[in-house]
Structure 1
Amino acid sequence: MISVLVLGGTGEARELAGLLAAHPRFEAVSSLAGRVSEVRVPDGEVRIGGFGGPAGLARWMRERGTDVLVDATHPFAQRMSTSAAEAARMTGVPLLMLRRPGWRAGPGDDWRRVPSMPAAVEALRGLGPRVFLTTGRQDASAFAELDDHRFLLRCVDPPEPPLPRHLRVLLDRGPFTVDGELELLRGHDIDVLVTKDSGGEMTAAKLRAARHLGIPVVVVSRPEPPEGPVVRTPRAAVAWLENHSG
């Protein structure tokens, strides 16, 4: 059996875990950070919690005899991806990155791409005071100094301070529908949407709703992934593992 460690927390990671659990050649462990209150547990063996940096991850892989490491974390989980790449170098274990495709603007979209969260804050100037913020609870603090804006923040778990002065929190988890997003945008009279380029269909409906209503969208671009092989789907990851494992 080939031992695979899947760094997860995404829908793609859960799908990959299910495929590997049913595969005769692989024995997979899914690792979850456990940062949300309601963890969606994948098939197969699961561990929850951090490793203590690259050295801790490398030690765990050596102790467990890990043959392949798959980084299937969120496209913006830059710290974990960097740790994974370093641990792979330390151990000589092959590293595969599973990254869903990013979003692309289409006809009728009014997107403002920015390289970072501070740049997103700057991009809000002149776009209207009512902001729908879908960057996640950990990035809400970046907007804390904008007292002239009113924010609707949607996230899975409550955010922690510092937070914007005028903030309403909506706790919810996708998938979302276009009709539901249209109702939300209209009901709160939203002027501008701020999001990360997370990709995938779970939360893409907000982009279609914004296009329909002519609402500008500030899109924070993804950080560059570490060097190495990248696949876009769980089935492509299985195919790669079949071709590059023992």
Structure 2
Amino acid sequence: MHILILGGTTEARALAGLLHGRFRVTSSLAGRVASPRLPAGEVRIGGFGGVDGLVDWMAGHAVDAVIDATHPFADRISFNAARAAATAHVPLLALRRPGWVPVTGDDWRPVASLEEAARTLDGLGDRVFLTTGRMGLAAFADCPQWFLVRSVDAPDTAGPARTELLLDRGPFTLEGEREVLARHRIDVVVTKDSGGAATAPKLRAAREAGLPVVVVRRPPVPAGVTTAASPEEAAAWAAARPGASRAR
């Protein structure tokens, strides 16, 4: 049985490790990170060319099931995957790590988009720790605040005029996040609700420092798509597919 895993997330790599050796596994990475951490099994890098391209690729490579383990904010590929799977009559599962939940002491400002996050910054302070990645910097291009932008790779699009770039890759530690906030005299943190433990320490560090956190809510999973909350749950779903017993 051939399983296509979409995404290079921590959960996608863990899932590939669980399935490799039991099934034929191909992980598809978007190619937006220069030196990605590669999962077990076969790997392809780059887009498919939209829904039709994904349908053709699945047919040409005899894909029996698709698991969308992309980043929770990679909504375009998720909706393309849903349409392609429905067109090709291939079962689809969305693996989504649970979102973050505020606790006592948090000062969260939930917003629906990066553009709304940029508007929400007015009055919250002059020094912003922006942890939403390099792809959405244009939303903050007109903001007058100073930004510390953390990203795995250097941005290739225009961003805020007053910017310092911090190239780094998680997982991050609580002690490290405390140091970043203090050293750069941060007034407000901006993040996406990515969920997971790798980048969560910044939330506790902000809570301890009494800082507001602008949180961009994640987009919904496409309607009708079954979801799993962990790689283990996704692996169990794969094992329950028709033909899975023959692949062991």
TM-score by length of 2: 0.96
Q: Residue 65 of structure 2 aligns to which amino acid in structure 1? A: V
SS at match of 2:165: strand
The Cα of 1:209 is off from its aligned counterpart by: 0.2
The Cα of 1:182 is off from its aligned counterpart by: 0.5
Match among 93, 96, 113 for residue 99 of structure 1: 96
How many angstroms apart in 1 are the aligned matches of 2:124 and 2:9? 32
How many angstroms apart in 1 are the aligned matches of 2:130 and 2:203? 12
Name the structure 2 match of 1:162. 158
How many angstroms apart in 1 are the aligned matches of 2:188 and 2:68? 33
The Cα of 1:140 is off from its aligned counterpart by: 1.2
The Cα of 1:141 is off from its aligned counterpart by: 1.3
How many angstroms apart in 2 are the aligned matches of 1:86 and 1:161? 30
The Cα of 1:39 is off from its aligned counterpart by: 1.0
Name the structure 2 match of 1:181. 177
Matched, 1:17 2:13: no
**How large is the Cα RMSD of the aligned pairs?**
0.8
How many angstroms apart in 2 are the aligned matches of 1:31 and 1:140? 25
Aligned residue-pair number: 242
Q: Residue 159 of structure 1 aligns to which amino acid in structure 2? A: P
Partner deviation per Cα, 1:129-148 (whole Å, 9 max, x = no partner): 1000000001111100012x
SS at match of 1:4: strand
Q: Residue 160 of structure 2 aligns to which amino acid in structure 1? A: P
Contact 2:128 2:186 in 1 (8 A): yes
Partner deviation per Cα, 1:76-108 (whole Å, 9 max, x = no partner): 001110110111011000110000000000011
Q: Which runs of 5+ in 1 are unaligned?
A: none
Q: Residue 4 of structure 2 aligns to which amino acid in structure 1? A: L
Q: Residue 69 of structure 1 aligns to which amino acid in structure 2? A: V
Moved over 4 A (4+): none
How many angstroms apart in 2 are the aligned matches of 1:38 and 1:47? 14
Pairs within 5 Å for 1:40-119: 40-119=37-116
How many angstroms apart in 1 are the aligned matches of 2:157 and 2:141? 8
Contact 2:135 2:157 in 1 (8 A): no
How many angstroms apart in 1 are the aligned matches of 2:123 and 2:55? 48
How many angstroms apart in 2 are the aligned matches of 1:130 and 1:166? 10
Contact 2:154 2:167 in 1 (8 A): yes
Q: Residue 178 of structure 2 aligns to which amino acid in structure 1? A: L
Contact 2:66 2:91 in 1 (8 A): yes
How many angstroms apart in 1 are the aligned matches of 2:123 and 2:52? 46
TM-score by length of 1: 0.97
The Cα of 1:161 is off from its aligned counterpart by: 2.9
Name the structure 2 match of 1:7. 6
Partner deviation per Cα, 1:1-30 (whole Å, 9 max, x = no partner): x1100002100000000111132xx21111
SS at match of 2:4: strand
The Cα of 1:245 is off from its aligned counterpart by: 3.1
Q: Residue 21 of structure 2 aligns to which amino acid in structure 1? A: A
